[in-house]
Structure 1
Amino acid sequence: MDLTRFQQQLKGTSSKARPLPPVDQWNPDFCGDINLTIALDGRWFYEGSPIGRASLVQLFASVLKREGDKYFLVTPVEKVVITVEDTPFLITQWEKEEGGFKDGSTYVFTTQTGDVVRLERAGQLELRVPPKAIQDPEATPIPYLCVRRDLWARLHQNTYYQLLEQAKEVTSGSCTQFKIQSNGTSFVLGEIT
């Protein structure tokens, strides 16, 4: 699979002004593997070299699809498997948007590819044990956020620690949870037993 040819097929399918391409509706034939990897730190590599053009990474991120445990880049006519070391997205920024709901705020997150995710509903954030390469000694679960279509993001360590400063500590029995309120819903960022 040629990365340049794949890029040509995607021309005009996505831009900041238009919604994401309907990759869930595209079911092209499988065309094999492409030597493209999304590393633990959120960087994209092609044949071992980092992809330096942010616009190219954003384009490829817009046509990412997950089926079971595999990740694919898809166009209307081709489908290629890529390697994802943990999650395809990494949350690198956050802000608290005031107004609009019971508690008056909604957390808004931005990924390394520029995707913006509003934390609005239950099930959108869950605690998972990260890969061994980035685990702490106790393998403490950390928050992962659903970006779209069963594609998840891990919170960057700095982002996670900043959010913990915003969290309310709630103790129940032998368990202490750290929670934030967003769009009127309570979300657990971490817990200690």
Structure 2
Amino acid sequence: MMVKKANLVGRPVDPGDCGDLGIHIDRTGRWFYHGSSIDRKEMVCLFAQMMSRDADGRYWLISPGEKGTITVEDVPFLAVELFTGGSGREQVVSFRTNVDDLVTVDQDHPIYFADCPQTGEVVPYVTVRDGLDARLTRPVYYELVALGFEERFDDEELYGLWSSGTFFPLGRLTDPD
């Protein structure tokens, strides 16, 4: 018996919506399935490659045959290692995430800061891809800050770093008027 595939003519197949898949990513970057930790890194990395985020902010795992939502406590990834090349305005900064994505900081993958709703502290993030972000771990952030230097923009003293030809402010050195 021969089985036909619906996608033989190049039309995209809309995978069926399975609803909530029971997968949760906690604030520390750990993945869980119905409360049980997913400890195989290879499995987490595979799921991470199938992840996307829609315009409403929902996280999805999408395979060719099915899709479903997952919950994410903060962001799905952590930036766990920093790499640099060049120096000064020619510097290029990259991160490795906990799921082994490599992200180069540039206009499409900026560093940004947001307030943590639980603690009120300002937290650093980097855009990884398609609305998916990584939180910089504390050691990586300290390493990043050590690479920065002072720049003046529009009569404002800023501390930050250059990557891929773009300046990314990490903080103000003077109080705004």
Structure 1: segments with no counterpart, 5+ residues: 1-24
Identity of aligned residues (%): 34
Which structure is higher in helix share?
1
Check conservation: 2:108, 2:127, Cα contact below 8 A: no
Alpha-carbon separation, structure 1, partners of 2:142 and 2:40: 29
Match of 1:40 among 14, 27, 41: 27
Equivalence for 1:128: 114
Structure 2 CA distance for aligned equivalents of residues 59 and 190 of structure 1: 36
Give the number of the structure whose alpha-carbon radius of gyration is greater: 2
Counterpart of 2:75, as a letter, is: T
In the aligned structure 2, how far is the partner of 1:111 from the partner of 1:82? 19
Q: Map 1:7-46 to 2 at 5 A.
A: 27-46=14-33
Amino acid across the alignment from 1:166: L
Distance 2:111 2:13 in 1: 27
Q: Normalising to structure 2: TM-score of the pair? A: 0.80
Aligned to 1:98: 86
Q: Distance in 2 between matches of 1:123 and 1:92?
A: 16
Matched, 1:84 2:84: no
Structure 2 runs not aligned, ≥5 long = 1-11
Q: Following TM superposition, by how much is the alpha carbon of 1:189 offset from its aligned partner in structure 2, in angstroms?
A: 2.4
Aligned length: 162
Secondary structure, aligned partner of 1:82: strand
Cα distance in 2 for residues equivalent to 1:106 and 1:158: 19
**1:56 maps to 2:43:** yes
SS at match of 1:56: helix
User: Aligned partners of 2:86 and 2:105: how far apart in 1?
Assistant: 13
The alpha carbon displacement at 1:188 in A equals 1.6
The amino acid across from 1:161 in the alignment is Y
- Residue type at the aligned position of 1:128: A
Cα separation, 1, equivalents of 2:30 and 2:44: 9
1:113 aligns with 2:94: no
Take 1:46 and 1:122, find their aligned partners in 2: how far apart are those partners?
A: 32
Per-residue CA distance 1:10-62 (angstroms, 9 max, x = gap): xxxxxxxxxxxxxxx76423111122111101111112222111110000000
Which one-letter code corresponds to 1:112 in the other structure? N
- The CA distance in 2 between the partners of 1:178 and 1:26, in whole Å, is 48
